[in-house]
Amino acid sequence: MYSRKLEEYKDRQYEISTRLEEHTRADESYHITAGTVLNLARRARELFDRVGNLMGEKIDHRIFRVRAG
């Protein structure tokens, strides 16, 4: 009985450890992705302006205005 319970415990411990590692990696990946998205959002206007200038076109900045009320 002891050996069987020990084996069950070790299997469960391995399973939990594996899941914890997966969640840790997913958490790190999420933070990297979220940081990248937020950085792009902050720089959107600058990036659109650069693309517009490179293409010789003027981007309509009205899309970036925040409408009050």
pLDDT in tens, 25-43: 999 999 999 999 999 999 9
Which spans in 1-69 are helix H? 2-42, 44-55
For 55, the domain range is 2-64
Domain presence at residue 23:
yes
Confidence of residue 65 (pLDDT cuts 50, 70, 90): low
Question: Considering the domain boundaries, does residue 69 fall inside one?
Answer: no
Residue 22 lies in a domain: yes
Is residue 21 situated within a structural domain? yes
Rounded Cα–Cα distance for residues 14 and 20 (Å): 10
Model pTM? Answer: 0.53
**Taking phi first (over 0 means left), then psi (-120 to 50 degrees means alpha), and beta for anything else, what does residue 60 get?**
beta
